[in-house]
Amino acid sequence: MAKIESTMIGPKLPDQVEQESQAKAVDEVTDGQSDLEKKHISRLTETEDFVQFRENLRKLGQKTNAGLDGTETLRFIVQLCETLLTKSGNVEFEEITIVEQSLSIAFCLILSDLQLLQNAVLSQDIKLLKPDSTLKLDGYSDLVSFFMAGLLSKRNALFVKYFNNSFTILMRESDSRDVQNILLKCILEHILKGDISSRSISKYIELGCSLLESICAEDKDEKILLGKQDINTIINLETLFFKILDILLEPKSAEKEDGTEDDELIIGYFKILEKVLNIEPKIKQELSRRKERRYIERVLKECLFNMNQEPEAGFEHSIKCTNVSTRAATYDLLVELTKENIDNSFDLLENGLIDLCNNLPNISSWRYTPFKDKKSPQGFLGIFNMSSICYINSMLQQFYMTPAFRYLILAAEDAQEANIVEDKDGRKVDDNNFHQLQKMFAYLDKSERRDYHPIDFCYSFKDYSGNPVNVTVQQDTQEFLNIFFDKVENALKPTPYRNILNDVYGGKTISVIECSSCGHLRTNEAIFYNVSLEVKNLKNIHEGFEKFITEDLISDFKCENCKQKCDVMKRTLIKDCPNVMIVHLQRIVFDLDMLMNVKVNSRYEFPQAINLKPYTYAHYQQTTLQKEPIPQEGKEAEATETEPEGVKAEVEPKPAVMAEDDFAYTLAGVLVHRGSAEAGHYYSYINVNRKDPRRPKK
C-alpha cells in the first residue's frame, strides 16, 4: 500500500479505495485492465513534468539557503522571541503566532544544517541573545539558555508547549551525542530549580521523564545516541533521587494554591523517581541504608494515609495525594521501591502496612467505597439529611454560599462560653445554636468529608417553645428562615457584630398612605430580610414586584391630620435595597373554596439579572410624587409569609448615594420546593461562579 501512495498526487479520488485493493495492478500493468483503470493509473502517477518541477523547487530551496547566514538569521529569531518571553502583561494572540512561526523557522534552519545546531549548542562563543539578556544561563550556550527560558516561561502555556515540542525534536534529530548530552544535562539539572508551584516546572519534569524514558526504553529510538550508562556521567542519579524525594516530603508541597497544577507537579516527581529507580536499581539499597530518614514510612503516611489524625483534632487534612492520579503515582513508586528488595518490603510492612491495618475505619455498610466519602471535586460539602430536614439544609447552604455572610459569621464572637449539656442519648453537645452554626460553616469550608452531620446543630436549634428540631418532621423553609434570623440576631445583639444580618440581608420598605380628604401623606418604614411576592395568576417576578407595589384600598382610615375618616390608598415600596435580597415566592396559598393550603405550581419566570429601580421609593418619588422627600415616621415591622420557594440575589456593597447600578442584582441561587402543600422536598441551586475570595479557582 505504501508504495502506491508514494506515487499518488492530489486529492483522494472517490474510487481510490478500490484502486488500492488492486495494489499489484499498478506496478504490473496487465492486459486485463480496462480503459477506465488505465485512466486512473495515469492520473495517479507523477508525470515527468511534475518530477522536473519538483526538482527545480528543491534546487531553488538550496540556493535560497546558500544565500542565508544561518547564525545571523537564528540570532534575529532568538532575539525576537526573547522580547516576547521577557515582556510583562497579557499575551496577545499575535505574539503566540510569532513564537510558533519563529520556532518553525529556527527548526528548518538548524535541522537543515546540523553543524549550525551543534555549534550553537556546544559553543558558548556564539552569541544569540541580546548582550544584556536576563535569560542567559551560566555554563550553557545562548541557544540552550533560550530553550530553557522558553520551557520555564510563565507568560503563556502555549509558549511552553511550543518550546517543549521543539526541544524534543532538537534532541532527537541533532545526530550528535554531545548535543544530546548537554540538552539532557540541562533539563535534569533544572528539574531541581525554579519556582516549585509554577505550571512550567511540571511541564519540565514531564519532559525530563520522557527523555529518561526514551533513553532507557527496551526498543530504543535509534536516533537517541545516549545510553543508560551515559546518564550517570551527566548527573548523579542518586543525588537527584533523594533531592526530589525530599522536595516531595517537604510540608510546603501540600499547600494548594491551584489544585491541578500542584497535582501535575507531584505526579511528575513520582514518575521521575520511578524512572530513576528503573535505571539505577541500587538506589533501593541506599534507601534502606538511610533508615533514619524513614522515607518509605513517610511516603505512605504523608502522601497516602494519615494515621495520626484525631477525628476532632482539626479538619486540615495533611495528606499530599488526594486524587486518583496522584495516589496512583505514589503506589507505583512504592511498588518499584519494594520490588526485589527485601529490606524495603519489610520496612513498608513493619512501619506502614501493619499500622494501616490497625487503623482501618469501622465499616458499617456494604459496598464501601472510600472515594464516595470525599467532598465533591469542586470542593463543596453537603449537609447530611437526618430524615426530613431538607428545609434546613437547603436554606443553610444558601446562607453558607453568601461569602459576606459566611465570613462575617465565622469572624463573629458571641462572647458566650460553651454550654455543654447531654442530649437524650448521653452525647455531650454545646447547646448554643450560634456556636453550632459557626462549627458547621467551618466544617463546610475546611473538611475533606462528603458531608457535615448537623445532629448538634439540630439539637441546639430550639423552636419557640424550647424544643429541639424534630428531624422527622418536614417544616416550612421560610418559617425556618425567620426563626434562624431571630436566633442570629439575638446571639449577636450584645456584641459589636450586631449588624451582620442587617448588613448582608437587611433592606427597608416604606408604605405611603395619602389621605383622600386633605392630601396628607403618612409614611411608615419597615426593615425586611426577605421580600414576599405573589405567584398566583402572575407570569414572572416583574409582575410579582408590580403587584407588591400596587395600591391597596383601606376603608375607614382615620387621618391624623384632618381627623376625618375616609377611604385611602396605601402602597408599599422598597426604600433601601439590601446587599443580598432574598425573594420569597408565595407558592403555597390558602384556598378559600377548599379551606386548605394548596400549592401553586404554575410557571413563574425570573431572569439571571434584574434591576429593582422601578419598584423603589426613589423611582416613585421621581415619577409620581415629584416632590421633596417626605418626613418619615419610622417604625419597624417584619414581612413574613409562608414560603415554599425562594430566589436570592446579591449585589456589591452599596455606597451612601444609590447609583443606577445599586438597583441591579444578579441571581445567586434558587431554593426549590418540589411536591405538594403537604409533602415534598427542598433543594438548592447555587451559582458558584461568583466573587468568593477563598473558593478554589477552576
Q: Report the interface residues with Zn ion, using CB under 5 A.
A: 515, 517-518, 520, 559, 561-562
Q: Quick one: which of 296, 385, 382, 291 has its CA closest to 335? A: 296
| CA–CA dist 566, 515 (Å, integer) | 8
Shorter beta-carbon distance to Zn ion: residue 395 or 515: 515
Q: How far is the CB of 551 from Zn ion (least distance, A)?
A: 17
Shorter beta-carbon distance to Zn ion: residue 566 or 598: 566
Sign of CA dihedral 437, 443, 445, 446: positive
Question: 3-state class of 257 per DSSP?
Answer: coil
Q: Which three cell numbers stand for residue 518?
A: 386633605
Q: How far is the CB of 552 from Zn ion (least distance, A)?
A: 18
Q: How far is the CB of 520 from Zn ion (least distance, A)?
A: 5
| CA–CA dist 121, 183 (Å, integer) | 8
| Whether the Cβ atoms of residue 122 and residue 180 lie closer than 8 Å to each other | no
Query: Where does 363-515 show beta strands of DSSP type E?
Result: 382-383, 420-422, 428-430, 451-452, 507-514
Shorter beta-carbon distance to Zn ion: residue 169 or 518: 518
Q: How far is the CB of 514 from Zn ion (least distance, A)?
A: 9
Shorter beta-carbon distance to Zn ion: residue 13 or 521: 521
Shorter beta-carbon distance to Zn ion: residue 495 or 561: 561
Q: How far is the CB of 562 from Zn ion (least distance, A)?
A: 3
Instruction: Tell me the one-letter amino acid at 405.
Output: F
Q: How far is the CB of 564 from Zn ion (least distance, A)?
A: 5
Q: Which three cell numbers stand for residue 235?
A: 548527573
Question: How many angstroms separate the Cα of 504 from the Cα of each of 71, 126, 402, 616?
Answer: 66, 65, 9, 19
Shorter beta-carbon distance to Zn ion: residue 511 or 579: 511
Shorter beta-carbon distance to Zn ion: residue 411 or 518: 518
Instruction: Assign 3-state DSSP to the chain and report helix, strand, coil percentages, each to 5.
Output: 50, 15, 35
Question: How many angstroms separate the Cα of 580 from the Cα of each of 52, 351, 503, 583, 691?
Answer: 77, 54, 9, 10, 13
Shorter beta-carbon distance to Zn ion: residue 271 or 522: 522
Q: How far is the CB of 529 from Zn ion (least distance, A)?
A: 33
Shorter beta-carbon distance to Zn ion: residue 517 or 640: 517
Q: How far is the CB of 695 from Zn ion (least distance, A)?
A: 55
Instruction: Tell me the one-letter amino acid at 251.
Output: P
Q: How far is the CB of 518 from Zn ion (least distance, A)?
A: 3
| CA–CA dist 98, 215 (Å, integer) | 32
**Residues 6+ positions from 127 with CB-CB distance below 8 Å:** 75, 142
| CA–CA dist 374, 511 (Å, integer) | 50
| CA–CA dist 304, 249 (Å, integer) | 12
**Residues 6+ positions from 352 with CB-CB distance below 8 Å:** 296, 297, 300, 301
Q: How far is the CB of 558 from Zn ion (least distance, A)?
A: 9
Shorter beta-carbon distance to Zn ion: residue 515 or 582: 515
